[in-house]
Amino acid sequence: MSYSRWSTDIKNTVPIEEEIELYKQGKTFKDIKKLREGRGAELSQWYIFHHVDSGDTRDTQNLAVWCVKGDDTPTLDYAMLRNLYDNGGWEEIYGEDIPQLEYMRSKVKLFLDKVEEEYDD
């Protein structure tokens, strides 16, 4: 379960179909990056991924939620993420100025929904 990565263009300024066509035309990653920037791309400030599937219960599922501006690389378990999503408190982990908070929360919500769908606890 992977949800986001640092270089994700969250405005989708170059749709995948167009990107494939550009590669077929011989364009490089750098060419497409310049195109994105010219169209006002907003790159994700988060690197978020299912860290370890360490068991067969909800509480053993972990999500790495790393902010590119921070030095820490926290891995949060299901219970902690559920509590943070429902009650807040993100600033205790990421500080007061959290970039793209709603974007990050939307990716955490995808993880929570998927875990709840796959694991009956």
pLDDT single digits (tens) 74-99: 999 999 999 999 999 999 999 999 99
More confident residue, 9 or 119: 119
Strand-pairing partners, residue 17, are: none
Query: Are residues 31 and 60 both part of a single domain?
Result: no
Examine residue 4 and state whether it is found in any structural domain, yes or no. no
Examine residue 1 and state whether it is found in any structural domain, yes or no. no
Q: Which residues of 14-46 are buried (b: 16+ CB within 10 A; e: fewer)?
A: beeeebeeeeeeeeeeeebeebbeeeebebbbb
Examine residue 26 and state whether it is found in any structural domain, yes or no. yes
pLDDT score recorded for residue 53: 63
Query: Are residues 104 and 67 both part of a single domain?
Result: yes
More confident residue, 97 or 54: 97
DSSP run (H or E) holding 64: strand 61-67
CA proximity to 117, closest of 78, 85, 90, 66: 78
Instruction: Give the DSSP letter string of 69-114.
Output: T-S---EEEHHHHHHHHHH--THHHH-S--TTHHHHHHHHHHHHHH
pLDDT score recorded for residue 11: 81
Examine residue 95 and state whether it is found in any structural domain, yes or no. yes
Range 47-71 average pLDDT: 85
Per-residue confidence band for 108, with pLDDT thresholds at 50, 70 and 90: very high
Q: pTM for the full model? A: 0.77
Which domain covers residue 23, as residue numbers? 9-38
Give the whole-angstrom CA distance, residue 88 versus residue 37.
33
